Amino acid sequence: MGIIEIKDLTKKYHNHDNDLIALQDITFDIKKGEIFGIIGLSGAGKSTLVRMMNYLEKPTSGKVSFEGRDLAMLSDSELRAVRKDIGMIFQSFNLLDQTSVIKNVTFPLEISGIGKKEAMERARELLKLVDLSDKEKEFPSKLSGGQKQRVAIARALATKPKVLLCDEATSALDPKTTEQILSLLKKVNIEMGVTIVIITHQMSVIEKVCDRVAILDKSRIEEIGNVKDVFKSPKSQIGQKLIFGATVNKDVDFEKEVGKKYLRLAFDGDVTDRPILADMILETKCRVSIFYANTKVIEGKVVGQLIIELPNDSEQQKIIKDYLERSGVSSWEVE
């Protein structure tokens, strides 16, 4: 059983005489202790979905459960208690501009009835965790974007949540700062055991820290799985577009465009330490050209795709495919 379970979730908005479908028939679970990514293009319904996980947004139909409890069945007070277990950070930080950093962090504790002394102690522990101990008296206006997000993370962790929802939390940050925030989230996940859900439109965010990923497109989950498996061989059209880019999307008809045949090779980290192409050319005596390459390091292993142009001779094409199969490299023709 997942810490968060979503079953047949649908969300519709009524607009004049029409219903706008934001999400439709969404079903998946998030396992305790994992970092789960949800990715999609703008307008895919990502933010709506993440707000349903703590019932800030209620579904039109379907079910959201937290630790086995159906959120629709909870009273207002029970729902408020659950939300203490589900922290949230946003792209725009949502800090209180007119109060200090440490007051921002103590705020959720104070409204929960925690005493001032205990709240200050907890806040200082968290500011140390996010490496901002020297900024506790500063105001948000004096901080960089990355520092503001660190404060937001500390504030979200103040009530000791079991889950942290991150809605485009790095979208407003530069690449270096994004890397730092992702490292911090990974630290929170490992050291504090917090389950993390990351909503993003950036594949680089998913590949750096997530264990599993769901790809959302046009209100539906199109693909879900371990990050390595999805990156190695995305099954959906939107997955291929997000991971490989438009140049290798199935919308492109290579054979009709250039009159050649192409083979896509998928690497899963187990065979990329060998010079596969060089060995293949030497053994088969078949020459190939590299048309496209895109590899990434995920979980310490190189995974990715390579597209090669096949010889015109059908016998040589068969020899190449047989060699790759014997070598343990997944391959298929680009259609």
- pLDDT for 156-174, tens place per residue? 999 999 999 999 988 888 8
State the chain's mean pLDDT as an integer. Answer: 86
Confidence of residue 296 (pLDDT cuts 50, 70, 90): low
Q: Which domain holds residue 63?
A: 4-231
Nearest to 101 by CA among 67, 149, 40: 149
Query: Helix, strand or coil for residue 319?
Result: helix
237 falls within a domain: no
Tell me: do 27 and 125 sit in the same domain. yes
pLDDT for the residue 245: 60
pLDDT at residue 10 greater than cutoff 50 = yes
Other CB atoms within 10 Å distance of the CB of residue 171: 15
310 DSSP assignment: P
Tell me: do 210 and 307 sit in the same domain. no
Task: Dig out the tokens for 245 from the structure.
Answer: 């880019």
- pLDDT for 76-88, tens place per residue? 999 999 999 999 9
First to last CA, the chain: 39
Total structural domains within the chain:
2
pLDDT for the residue 107: 93
63 falls within a domain: yes
| CA angle, 198 then 204 then 206, to 5° | 30
Nearest to 45 by CA among 211, 210, 199, 224: 199
Tell me: do 210 and 266 sit in the same domain. no
Residue 205 CB partners (closer than 8 Å, separation 6+): 37, 170, 178, 182, 198
Task: Dig out the tokens for 134 from the structure.
Answer: 């020297």
**Cα(309)–Cα(289) distance, rounded to whole angstroms?**
5
**Cα(59)–Cα(324) distance, rounded to whole angstroms?**
48
280 falls within a domain: yes
Helices assigned H by DSSP within 37-195: 46-52, 76-84, 101-110, 116-129, 145-157, 175-192
Tell me: do 156 and 249 sit in the same domain. no
Q: What helix, strand, coil percent values describe the chain, rounded to 5? A: 40, 30, 30
Q: Report CA 26 to chain centroid distance, whole Å.
A: 16
Tell me: do 140 and 180 sit in the same domain. yes
Domain end (from 231, 258, 290)? 231
Which neighbouring-strand residues pair with 37?
198, 213
Tell me: do 35 and 182 sit in the same domain. yes
Task: Dig out the tokens for 47 from the structure.
Answer: 């933010």
pLDDT for the residue 112: 84
| CA angle, 83 then 86 then 88, to 5° | 105
Q: Which residue has the higher pLDDT, 192 or 302?
A: 192
- Amino acid making up residue 200: T
Nearest to 5 by CA among 84, 69, 79: 69
105 falls within a domain: yes
**Cα(205)–Cα(210) distance, rounded to whole angstroms?**
8
**Alpha-carbon distance values, 218 to 10, 28, 147, 149 (Å):** 12, 17, 34, 29
Tell me: do 205 and 295 sit in the same domain. no
273 falls within a domain: yes
Tell me: do 266 and 207 sit in the same domain. no
pLDDT at residue 273 greater than cutoff 70 = no
Phi (first) and psi of residue 55, to 5 degrees = 65, 25
Domain end (from 170, 201, 231)? 231
Domain end (from 231, 253, 282)? 231
Tell me: do 154 and 44 sit in the same domain. yes
Tell me: do 175 and 277 sit in the same domain. no
Nearest to 158 by CA among 86, 209, 96: 86
- pLDDT for 213-272, tens place per residue? 999 998 999 999 999 888 877 888 888 778 766 444 444 444 444 567 888 787 666 555
51 falls within a domain: yes
Tell me: do 131 and 32 sit in the same domain. yes
CATH of the domain at 218: 3.40.50.300
Tell me: do 143 and 257 sit in the same domain. no
pLDDT at residue 16 greater than cutoff 90 = no
Asked whether the whole model's pTM tops 0.85, one would answer: no
CATH of the domain at 267: 3.30.70.260
